[in-house]
Amino acid sequence: MNLTQVIREVRKLVKERPDFVYKSPDCQCYYISVANCEPCIFGQAIRNLDPDFDFSRYMPPKFCGIKKVIEENFTYTKKQLLWCMKVQFKQDLDVRWLDCIDIADREKPINLGYMNGWEENPVEYDEHVKYCSGKMVRTKVVSCLNDYKCNECGIVYRVDSSD
Ligand SMILES: [Zn+2]
């Protein structure tokens, strides 16, 4: 199984239920069905292609992002990996499925705004810290104001270091 097939299956699932919003019982994302909640989109797509796919090592207590599942099981291009990570990020933010893939297709950076204004870390940022091995590339906007962009998962945020 390669990631092209998985992505095709994800698109098929979205086409069938564009308005579906994934909700897990405890705000985590699960690849298999738990507590009357259906699996996340990648869980469904992968199991549709391979009903015996073993998700046990990606389940709690060791919560695990899609990046690791892909890296350990599929052949893929970096672009495909990024696409999947974006879809999964958005799905876990209660975005309806069609918008998840629209956002990933547009390849826009995921803009998290001013880091100084965060009351708590955005989910994308936490995912980046936990699972992404990308480098943050700094671009100076003006003195004391810098943009940071991850070259893997695509998150972007701005830091004002003037105070
Ligand atoms: Zn990243």
Q: What tokens were used for 138?
A: 């700094």
Higher pLDDT, 86 or 12: 12
- End-of-domain residue from the set 88, 106, 124: 106
Q: How far is the CA of 134 from the centre of ligand 1 (A)?
A: 5
Confidence band (pLDDT; 50, 70, 90) for 11?
Answer: very high
Q: How far is the CA of 120 from the centre of ligand 1 (A)?
A: 18
Mean pLDDT of 124-130: 83
Q: How many domains does the chain have?
A: 2
Q: How far is the CA of 113 from the centre of ligand 1 (A)?
A: 15
Confidence band (pLDDT; 50, 70, 90) for 147?
Answer: very high
State residue 136's pLDDT score: 92
Claim to verify: residue 88 and residue 114 sit in the same structural domain: no
83: closest CA among 60, 98, 67? 67
Domain that holds residue 125: 110-160
Q: How much is the mean pLDDT over the chain?
A: 88
Q: What tokens were used for 84?
A: 């999947």
Q: How far is the CA of 153 from the centre of ligand 1 (A)?
A: 4
